[in-house]
Amino acid sequence: MSKIYSIVRSHAVASPDKIAIIGDGGEVFSYQQLLSAVDHRIQQLQEVVEPDSSRVALCLHEGEQIPVTVLALNYLGVPVIPLNPTLQPLQMVAFLDAVDATVVVLESATAAAFVGLDESIQQVTVEDPHFTVQQGGAGSVQGGREYQKDEAFLITLSSGSTGDPKPIILSEQNKLGRAKQAEQMYQVTAEDRVLCASPFFHSLGQRLTFMPLLKGGTLVLMDRFTPQRWVDLVAAQEVTFTICVSSHLYALREQLVSQGERLHSLRALVSSSAAIDKELKEYLFEQVGCAFYEIYGATEVAIVTNLEPKDVAHKSASVGKACEGVEVMILNDQHQPLPTGEVGEIACRSPLMFSGYLNQPELTEVTRHQGYFLTGDLGYQDEDTFLYFVSRKKDVIISGGSNIYPMDIEAVVLESASIAECAVVGINDSYLGEVVIAVCVWRQGEEQDEWQLRQWVNSQLSPFQRPLKYFFVEQLPLTSTGKINKRALREEHNRLGLDLSAKIRLMI
């Protein structure tokens, strides 16, 4: 029997009435109810899932459906691929092709994206889980399948795009190790109530889902983030621990101080997914009424470094020191180690390294060097081996914790007959970290209609990929080798001091 399901079942047997999940609306589900719902879902999925050959994509909105379905699929011993339910139909097809999915589990609200899908992919529609305890009690199903040592349990798609999704293979043992790493670093126990305000298709959402359930604690779900809802949920459910993406922390800055008395249950808060600026970091370390940490890492290697409260006074600009068992090096372009203080590519070696990119052995090979993962990020270490993040080497925008690949947006913009050239870049934003802008050159003789262009692009991309602003120029700047100079574009538009996420903040 699979390990994750077995561990959660053991909690249901030992403490059947312990609260396992608290839903976004305050619904409370015990471990016994959770396992009963999982067993019911297992019986439903057993009819369509072949343990030795199925590969199951998951297209569900956030909520109790996800942990119930993932635990059921874990019991069946099949690879699970979480999808972003806001993706457009063509993006869904591209992702399913990239992972060789044989089954897609969806709900009524996401079914429309799969109309006309290849008939070789089985569709299974699931509805709200049955949390009524079934006859025979929790854990009454028999059998199940164990994963082999490096076999895929979760395949996480790192790209939020149409062009080149990178399916990251994570074994069951790897996910158990990652949960254990976070438990030890932040002293998570069965008494903790852990808030998950990140989607499950994001690696952070996976970590926050598994951590409390594997420990016998309580998972508190938040389906849709707004600063005030976050505060209200922490207060109402007495949340003790959570990890936030950096954009949530920017949005929460004022609430963490002005409503601090409502957050007395919170004992630890962690920043993840993108570096936060020194000013906000010091503000949080000084003002938040609990232990505050910042981590640096990647889906491929889990948490790499951790900045602890005891170190912030003299290392606030850093992202901390390497975690136990993790090694960090700074390399030049020839993959040679650089001396202390010099900026180069951050490389790390971890026992929690991913198994590789599915069906992409060449990409897997080029991202590794002598056992180290090449992050594509630039940084340096000081004389005390604290790591300092500088920027990204890759052409990737991280907005609100989501990876956005400019090439895919550019391809859509250039499909418009009115555009001759396009460069998509990310510019600094105090709320989202970065926001997407598109710098375009109109095609001579074509109608110059920005509204029509925006409508076309928006129809082809997911909401988080869509440029917040378009700029139109006579020509794009080039480097000495004739390539588009995106660094110059970023610097030019950062100097404008735009606040492009203002409208988004007004909506939450």
Whole-Å CA distances, 261 to 256, 292, 365, 495: 9, 16, 50, 38
The dihedral region occupied by 319, where left means phi > 0, alpha psi between -120 and 50, and beta the remainder, is alpha
- Side-chain-side CA neighbours of 207 within 13 Å: the count stands at 28
Is 248 part of a structural domain of the chain? Answer: no
Type of residue found at 82: P
What percentage of the chain has pLDDT greater than the value 90?
67
Closest CA to 271 of 259, 285, 286, 261: 285
Bridge partner list, 152: 171
pLDDT for res 163: 43
Tens digit of each residue's pLDDT (9 = 90 or more) over 425-447: 999 998 899 999 999 999 888 88
In a domain, 402, yes or no: yes
As for how many domains the chain has, the answer is 1
Whether 411 is covered by a domain: the verdict is yes
- For residue 494, what is the domain's CATH number? 3.30.300.30
Q: How confident is the model at residue 479 (pLDDT cuts 50, 70, 90)?
A: low
- 143 versus 408: the higher-pLDDT residue is 408
Residue 480 has pLDDT above 60, yes or no: no
Q: Please report whether residue 327 resides in a domain.
A: no
Handedness of CA 335, 339, 340, 341 (dihedral sign): negative
Residue at 405 is within a domain: yes
**Residue range(s) defining the domain that contains residue 426:** 397-506
Residue 416 lies in a domain: yes
Look up the pTM and report it: 0.84
How far is residue 369's CA from residue 78's CA, in Å, rounded to a whole number? 30
Give the three-state DSSP class for 326. Answer: coil
245-275, pLDDT tens digit by residue? 887 888 888 888 889 899 999 999 999 877 7
* pLDDT tens-place string over residues 131-146: 887 655 555 677 688 9
423 within 8 A of 486, measured Cβ to Cβ: yes
Residue 62 lies in a domain: no
- Look at the alpha carbons of 108, 124, 121, 411 in this order and tell me if their dihedral is positive or negative: positive
On whether residue 459 sits in a domain, the answer given is yes
Name every residue whose Cβ is closer than 8 Å to that of residue 298 and which is 6 or more positions away in sequence. Answer: 304, 373, 375
